[in-house]
Amino acid sequence: MDNVWLEKAWEQVVDKIEQTSHTFGAAFPNGTEHGRFVMTSAHDWVAGFWPGLLWLVYSETKNERLQTLAVACEEQISQTLWEFEHLHHDVGFMFGLSSIKQYEHLEDEAAKRHALMAASLLAGRFNPAGSFIRAWPNWGNEDHSGWAIIDCMMNLPLLYWASEVIADPRYRHIAELHADMVLKEFMQGDGSVHHIVAFDPETGARVEALAGQGYAADSAWSRGAAWALYGFALSYKYTGKETYLEAAKQVAQFFLANLPADKVPYWDFRLPKDSDDMPRDSSAAAIAASGLLEIASLVGTDEGLRYKQAAEEILFSLFHNYTEGQEESQGLLLHGTGYFMKDIHVDASLIYGDYYYVEALLKLKYA
Ligand code: GLY
């Protein structure tokens, strides 16, 4: 595949982010409604993606204005460390894409400290009885004290990073215990994964799998599969444990084998047969593409080339088929699905879809 499309895709990214950075400033876009992003708070799970995007584009353009905005976002995100009751396991996404990136780009010691505090909060969510990191606080009357979710695989790198930075394996041990639990309790045998598994928080006994954002408890929410694919690849990267690489490959095989012709999945891989007009989830495709490129760089050789090629095919389709009409939207990728069953951001642009699309394009550029 020639690289002309990749250059065009990258130009489109830079134009879009330069343009929307003037509109958004240091704020927290989530998903679009009628082409305009709905803004959210600094403690929302999506808060890190906008500063993350600003850093990705800054890394190529060195536009100081983007850096200034990313720093202003981090300042707001770091304040949430004092909002303990609002916080959740997604501090991994939030601080990983803001504070850690700020530390890496600017050697900012305060940002490093914020990320270490977030890692301590994440480690504090570990329940040793069931060997899981609790995902969320309770919402209303819904008791989440025993809930673990697949997305958490993407929060574990905050723990691996913290262990490396402070030269102390405690956080890595917790991350590995959680990842080992996911291998046992979330994998459905064919490479698909559950979204939520509920445990008894006292005894640690597994109670049940729940549908969460998927169609059903035993269906296959496509973004959940993408989180698992990428998350296990990252756990392998930090630990060298082959079981994690095998899991990443197994999920990748399931994901790739079940894609429709245009390489972008429906929002769940196991929808009822008459659901052909169901929405796609371009964010799942973008996350999986970035995860496949991660696997490619970890395994190398001919096998790595196959993962790279699969990622490239997905990204090519996203550029050609899912950015067409993006001038009408504040987002880059169209046709993402946030939460189908609750009718939240359906057939929309999603800030995390845009983030992983841009991350994957950059990886491909230098692969
Ligand atoms: N719960 C995070 C997601 O929608 O992927």
pLDDT one-digit tens code per residue, 160-193? 999 999 999 999 999 999 999 999 999 999 999 9
Centroid of ligand 1 to alpha carbon of 46 (angstroms):
9
What percentage of the chain reaches a pLDDT higher than 90? 95
> 4-366: which CATH topology?
Glycosyltransferase (1.50.10)
Looking at residue 85, its pLDDT comes to: 86
User: Is 0.95 topped by the overall pTM?
Assistant: yes
Cα 1 to averaged position of ligand 1 atoms, centre (Å): 32
Confidence of residue 83 (pLDDT cuts 50, 70, 90): confident
DSSP state of 280: B
Ligand 1, atom nearest to 227 Cα: 5
Asked whether 363 and 290 are in contact (CB, 8 A), the reply is yes
What pLDDT does residue 84 have? 85
- What was the pLDDT predicted at 1? 65
Ligand 1 in reach of 151 Cβ (< 6 A): yes
pLDDT-derived band at 146 (thresholds 50, 70, 90) equals: very high
Distances (CA, A) of 264 to 226, 292, 328: 12, 14, 21
What is the pLDDT of the chain when averaged over all its residues? Answer: 97
Apex 287 CA angle, 284 and 292, nearest 5: 115
Please report which confidence band the pLDDT of residue 105 belongs to, taking 50, 70 and 90 as the band edges: very high
Q: Is 222 a pocket residue for ligand 1 (Cβ < 6 Å)? A: no
3-class SS at 148? strand
pLDDT digits (tens, 9 = 90+) for 59-78: 999 999 999 999 999 999 99
- Per-residue model confidence (pLDDT) at position 273: 76
Share of the chain above pLDDT 70, in %: 99
Q: Whose CA is nearest to atom 1 of ligand 1?
A: 151
pLDDT value at 194 more than 80: yes
Please give the average per-residue pLDDT across 292-314, as a whole number: 96
Q: Is the CB of 213 under 6 A from ligand 1?
A: yes
* Cα angle for residues 46, 200, 158 (degrees, 5° grid): 35
Is the pLDDT reported for residue 352 higher than 80? yes
Q: With contact defined as beta carbons under 8 Å apart, do 101 and 52 qualify?
A: yes
Nearest CA to ligand 1 atom 4: 338
Task: Sketch the domain layout of the chain as residue ranges.
Answer: 4-366
Which segments of the chain does DSSP mark as H helices, in order?
Answer: 4-24, 49-61, 64-79, 91-97, 99-106, 109-123, 156-166, 170-185, 222-239, 242-257, 282-299, 301-322, 351-366
How large is the average pLDDT for residues 244-262?
A: 98
Lowest mean pLDDT among 13-17, 82-86, 157-161, 193-197: 82-86
| Catalytic machinery residues | 90, 151
User: What per-residue confidence (pLDDT) applies to 275?
Assistant: 65
301: left (phi over 0), alpha (psi -120 to 50) or beta: left
Shortest-distance atom of ligand 1 to CA 212: 1
